[in-house]
Amino acid sequence: MRRADGYYCQFCISVDIKEELPLTHQTIGLDVGLKEFYTDSMGQTEPNPRFYRQGEKRLKFHQRRISRKKKGSTNRKKAINKLGRKHLKISRQREEHAKRLARCVIQSNDFVAYEDLRIRNLVKNHCLAKSINDAGWYQFRKWLEYFGKKMGRVTVAVNPAYTSQICSNCGAVVKKILIYKDSCLCLWMSIR
């Protein structure tokens, strides 16, 4: 496999690795979001690092450098490589963040429930696509499942339909609708 920083070779070896952890007798439910990376059922939140948004200025700089170079030149290829390395760095930051959080969540809980989101469908909303991709929810879910299997913890994907209609304060069901303005998702409004 070729990446911006070199060639990589992968070997697939079947090894059954199990980590035996003592039971914590704790269960947790996770709700991922754009403002906070996730909010758990205890009310604790993890901030969203927004790696792509932070690196956007440097990406823009490298993209401008490419556009100034002559097509087909060696300097253009070098500039493209630098841009690729920057994208790779952002991708690896997002992956490591998801891995670290998933490992922490699995180690401290016996049962973890999370939303079974269809990320591919959510990204179709062009107003939120960049932020959703930047959050890295799918990677987080993938690592939750991996560490859950490795450490013998139970992880369950919950259907997200009607989960956000229950009021977190009083527990009553509050119907919600989407309000569109210029074909963009603007805000949630509750109907009482």
DSSP 112-140: EEEE---HHHHTTSTTTHHHHHHHTHHHH
Q: What is the spatial distance between Cα 151 and Cα 21, in angstroms, rounded to a whole number?
A: 7
Q: Which residue has the higher pLDDT, 181 or 62?
A: 62
Q: Where are the domains of the chain?
A: 2-165
Other beta carbons less than 10 A from residue 177's beta carbon: 9
Give the pLDDT score at 125: 85
pLDDT at 185 over 50: no
pLDDT at 168 over 90: no
pLDDT at 165 over 80: no
Per-residue pLDDT, averaged over 71-100, amounts to 95
41-66 confidence digits (pLDDT tens): 888 899 999 999 999 999 999 999 99
pLDDT at 77 over 90: yes
Give the pLDDT score at 170: 73
Using DSSP's 3-state secondary structure scheme, residue 176 falls into strand
What pLDDT band is residue 19 in, cutting at 50, 70 and 90? confident
pLDDT at 68 over 60: yes
Per-residue pLDDT, averaged over 149-175, amounts to 78
What pLDDT band is residue 177 in, cutting at 50, 70 and 90? low
Return the exposure string of 72-84: e unless at least 16 CB atoms fall within 10 Å of the residue's CB, then b.
eeeebeebbeebe
pLDDT at 1 over 70: yes
Q: Which of 26-40, 87-101, 127-141, 155-169 has the lowest mean pLDDT?
A: 155-169
pLDDT at 140 over 60: yes
Give the pLDDT score at 43: 84
What are the tokens at 21? 């952890």
